[in-house]
Structure formats: C-alpha cells, structure tokens
Amino acid sequence: MTQNFTGNFTQQEPLPEEAIEAAVAVMRHGRLHRYNLSDGEAGETALLEQEFAAYTGAKYCVAVASGGYALAAALRAAGAKAGDTVLTNAFTLAPVPGAIANAGCEPVFVEVTDALVMDLKDLQVKITSSGAKFLMLSHMRGHLVDMDALMQICNAADVKVIEDCAHTMGASWDGVPSGRHGVAGCYSTQTFKHLNSGEGGLLITDDADLAARAIMLSGSYMLFERNGAGPEKEVFDQIKLETPNCSGRMDNLRAAILRPQLRNLDAQCQAWNDRYKRVENGLRNATGIQVIERPEKEQYVMSSFQFLCPDLSNAQMIDVQKRTANRGVELKWFGADSPVGFTSRHDSWKYVAAQNLPETDRILAGLFDMRLPLTFTLEDCDLLATIIREEVGAVYQTG
C-alpha cells in the first residue's frame, strides 16, 4: 500500500508560553520602540543584544530589522563603498546579493562544490581577478566550508569576511561558533530560521568601530549608549556625525519573543539534527541519490535537508518533484529556469552582471531541498525518506 505524507512544511512550532507572556507585557506597557525607555530600564532589545553576544562569545551585538539588513549594515560598517566588488557564493538566496546591492556594491560569485560550500580554489582565483577586499560568505542551508582554510586565504589577501549565518545559528566549525571567524557575523530571526520573531536580525563583531557604525546605521540617533552590547561612548565620538541613519532597528516586541527562545536554542538545534539524521539515514545508499557528507570539524544545525540526484535530467528532476508532491512531500529544485517562492539562483538576479559558473550550474541542476520543521516527528522523517527514495528510484529506473 502506497503511503502519503500529510504534514505541513510551513507549520512552525507555537512560540513558548514564556515568549507569549513577555510579548504581552511589552504590549501592555506600550513602549515597543527600543529607545522608548524609563530611567534605568534596559529594555528587551538591549537585553537580547547582551544575551546573544554572550551566547556567541562576541564583544558586541546589534539587533536589527532583518538578516538582510544586518548583512548590508555590516558591509557598510566594515568600510565597503559604492562600486566596490564583493565576493559571495554562487549558491545562496536573494537577500545575500540583495544586501550587496543595497550597499551599492557589485557581487562577484564564487563557484560551489558538491558539498554545497564555496570552492576555495575558485575563491583564490576570484580574489586575484576581481581585486575584491570583501567576502560575504553565505553558509547556505547550514553547510559550513573549511573555515580554517578560508580564513587563511582571506587573511593572506587582506579580504574582510562577513558571515551570513542565517542558516547556521547554533552551529560551529571546530568548536568556533558560526559568525565568529570573520569581522562580523549576521543572523536572521525570520520565521523559518532557528529563532522565530517573524522577521528580525542580529549582527555580532569584536570590532568596536564596526559595531559603532552598525549601531548608528541601524538608527540609534544619539541614544547609542542604550545599546545593550555596544562599544564605549568614545568610539562613537569619531563616527556619529558621519554615519547615516538608515533606520532598521529591532523593536522590543520582537526582542521579547526571542529572548526565551534563545535560552532553549541548543535543545532546539539538537531536535533539528535528530530529524536531519533520520532522513539522512533513510536516503544513504539509495538509488540515484547522493547525500551531502559532512566534515568531522563541522558541528552543524540542519533545519532543512539537501540531496543531489546527479544522474537525472531536468525533465526527470521535474518528474521527481511532481511525484513526491503527489504524495505530500514538498521538494524545492534549484535547477528551475525561473524563481519559485523563496528559491532562486545566480542567473535569476538581473541586477547582477551575468557570470559564467558551470560547476555551480551543474550542481544546482541536480539539487533538491526540503524543510524539516520541528512539528515533524522522527517517524515523519522516516516516511519522508521512504517516499523520496521510492520516487527517485522509480524515475531513475525508468530513465
């Protein structure tokens, strides 16, 4: 008997009661703006900044309106000027090149490997050919490149690294938290990320000047001393009048929702990984399927699952997608000619000059992606793997 899946791929867990109570408390006192505080009051946003800085081990943290805003602010605060070239992954999502464009800069894409991480050989080539001094490194879908090797390349070439950690909050490389290798790490708290406030972002850094500029860019006015994890006042004296206010602050309501979730983040990360491993075990050695092997030094957090079908044609990939959808399983395919929903690829973004990326194109043509919300049980994950294995196998055998 054919089994179908009946779960909802966009249904998140409800917010914890503590988060709901904290949000209601903010709504009751009405001071949602982060700088609308009573004397001596820290405020939810400042407290979140302190707590997230402590969680990551960073000196400074800035809470902002979105992960994409954090990326653009970090790039500008790190010294990028309009017209500068910024390197980034060829496999990423639209907010990353969007943040580069938002800062007035030009993206140059670096090829990715079958492990879905940046190709370090192509990175070296592109650093030389482009002369870029900035790299916006996207840890796309939770896959971490060899950060030791990448930082060695970038440090030798005086390239500043800004980490896009939208999919790696709670992850680390060889014990160093994601976001702590480059000059800044940027995170998202959009609903489908590891903390959920609907929309929101966090920027961390150990660089006092970068932190001060990011706080001013976020729209602190002259209330920057009320930031929860910012540098000393003297740092702002040098930059406060030359840094534009590009309002993108987080508010106290979203921060109130996030703080209780942060306290439970490690347990949530383990729960995602439990689900990831169940799907991985179910697909390993399956006909026509290549799972992504993870390096020993990578401590990942996977709230989604990716696998490759390298031997299937485009028509067969579409067939697999339709067949699994008929059984209730939503697979995203990164080889589609046109963007669909949240999914797009480097040649979709017409505001970026067309670039030749044959390896990335080959990989994306065979790449499927699937969400793993925590509303799925481990048994659900076993069923997902069974359906995918059966349908890919059927298409592979008839091809």
Q: Region 189-196: what's the mean pLDDT?
A: 96
- Alpha-carbon distance of 162 to 80, in angstroms, equals 11
- Alpha-carbon distance of 120 to 112, in angstroms, equals 8
Dmax (CA) for the chain in angstroms is 72
172-173 β-sheet, strand order = 176-177, 172-173, 298-299
Give the N- to C-terminal CA distance of the chain in Å, as an integer: 24
Interval 134-159: pLDDT, tens:
999 999 999 999 999 999 999 999 99
Q: Region 57-72: what's the mean pLDDT?
A: 98
Flag whether pLDDT at 398 surpasses 70: yes
Q: Report whether 170 contacts 47 (CB < 8 A).
A: no
pTM tops 0.85: yes
pLDDT of residue 66: 97
Level-2 CATH architecture, domain 17-263: 3-Layer(aba) Sandwich (3.40)
With cut-offs at 50, 70 and 90, classify the pLDDT of residue 337. Answer: confident
pLDDT of residue 336: 86
Q: How far is CA 230 from the centre of its chain?
A: 23
Domains of the chain: which residue ranges? 17-263, 265-398
Q: Which helix (H) or strand (E) holds 64?
A: strand 60-64
- Domain 17-263 shares a fold with domain 265-398: no
Q: Region 308-329: what's the mean pLDDT?
A: 96
Q: Region 75-84: what's the mean pLDDT?
A: 97
Q: Report whether 9 contacts 328 (CB < 8 A).
A: no
CATH 3.90.1150.10 fits 265-398, yes or no: yes
Interval 319-333: pLDDT, tens:
999 999 999 999 999
Q: How many CA atoms lie within 13 A of 212 on its CB side?
A: 18
Interval 163-186: pLDDT, tens:
999 999 999 999 999 999 999 999
Interval 243-264: pLDDT, tens:
999 999 999 999 999 999 999 9
With cut-offs at 50, 70 and 90, classify the pLDDT of residue 399. Answer: low
Contacts of 188-191 with CB under 8 Å at 24 or more apart are 188/66, 188/67, 188/68, 188/70, 189/67, 189/254, 189/258, 190/66, 190/67, 190/166, 191/12
Flag whether pLDDT at 339 surpasses 80: no
Q: Region 92-101: what's the mean pLDDT?
A: 95
